[in-house]
Amino acid sequence: MITAYYISDGTAITSEVFGHALLSLFEVEFNHVTIPFVETVEQAEIVNKKISESFQDDKQRPLVFHTIVNLDVRKVISRSIGINYNFLDQFVAPLEKVLGVPAKPEKHRTHSIHEKTYDIRIEAVNYALANDDGSNLKDYHEADIILVGVSRSGKTPTSLYLALQYGIKAANYPFTEDDMGEILRLPKILRQFKNKLFGLTIEAQRLHQIRSERKANSRYASLPQCKMELREVENLYRKEKIPFLNSTHFSIEEISAKILAETGLKRKNY
């Protein structure tokens, strides 16, 4: 198996994102290793030793993706036995020519707690947690979006991802069996914020599998129950003209991006 390293003198999030995006194009199994905060030459030498050990163990040169601002540290990592991909060198020089302005590298700038959007993200995360699963209905006027759907359709993780990644205040409300009655109607609290609603749905078989992991052999997890609930909520979405998305075959990242694209919500974190 080939080992892929993601290295940075910061959080290594950027090198991970770039590296994962590239490797996802290949149907090859990788051993992923992330090493953040390599801030000194001494630390870089230790990392190089790990890379060499991987080469000896795997009998294949590791892939090394790095975004290191410190020039001295970068030079050490670039001498590793691995196949090195320096994203900063790849893109900074061409951008300098286009912009006509020299880059001023500064460690931790990208993910610094001093960035002006940091407080926005934290506030959004706190909001998502406080308004999860219909637990708090009095602050919906603050929401940028309210996700609705049956239990276990992906509302909570999507709400948190929207908050943490984009700084969007996302509440979510679950449609339960108690809401169904003879026919599912839009609750009064949601109707007054109808312009903020976005629905999630999921294939019945997948919902059945997810619920069975939580409550095996229960009525809640049974396939007929899942089919009934999904039929009701999808009918409601269509009747009330609530935009919705089937989340079955999408990751949380993809679901969130599709929601932004469809609703036109503006991300608050760059």
Confidence of residue 106 (pLDDT cuts 50, 70, 90): low
250-265 confidence digits (pLDDT tens): 999 999 999 999 999 9
- Are 10 and 110 a contacting pair, CB within 8 Å? yes
Task: Over range 193-208, report the average pLDDT.
Answer: 97
Percent of the chain with pLDDT over 90: 76
The CB density around residue 119, as the number of other CB atoms within 10 Å, is: 11
- pLDDT in the model for residue 178: 78
Higher pLDDT, 266 or 222: 222
Count of positions (residues) in the chain: 270
Return the domain boundaries, the chain: 2-99, 118-263
Q: Is the pLDDT of residue 89 over 90?
A: no
Higher pLDDT, 195 or 102: 195
Task: Over range 92-114, report the average pLDDT.
Answer: 73
Architecture of domain 118-263: 3-Layer(aba) Sandwich (3.40)
Task: Over range 182-208, report the average pLDDT.
Answer: 94
Residue-by-residue DSSP string for 228-250: HHHHHHHHHHHHHT--EEE-TT-
- Strand order through the sheet with 2-8: 30-35, 2-8, 63-67, 83-86
Task: Over range 20-26, report the average pLDDT.
Answer: 94
179-194 confidence digits (pLDDT tens): 776 778 899 999 999 9
- Are 169 and 161 a contacting pair, CB within 8 Å? no
> Looking at the whole model, is its pTM more than 0.95?
no
How crowded is the C-beta side of 225, counted as CA atoms within 13 Å? 17
The SS3 call for residue 216 is coil
Token code pair at residue 266: 């503006």
Cα Rg of the chain (Å, integer)? 23
Token code pair at residue 250: 């999408």
State the Cα–Cα distance between residues 48 and 163, nearest whole angstrom: 36
Max distance between CA atoms of the chain, in angstroms, equals 70
- pLDDT in the model for residue 163: 95
Confidence of residue 221 (pLDDT cuts 50, 70, 90): very high
Q: Is the pLDDT of residue 214 over 80?
A: yes
Question: Dihedral of CA 97/100/106/112: which sign?
Answer: negative
Average pLDDT, the chain: 91
CB crowding 221-246: b at 16 or more within 10 Å, else e: beeebbeebbebbbebbeeeebebbb
State the Cα–Cα distance between residues 35 and 82, nearest whole angstrom: 14
- pLDDT in the model for residue 102: 85
- pLDDT in the model for residue 232: 94
Q: Is the pLDDT of residue 21 over 80?
A: yes
First to last CA, the chain: 35
Rounded to the nearest 10 degrees, what angle do helices 155-166 and 118-130 cross at? 160
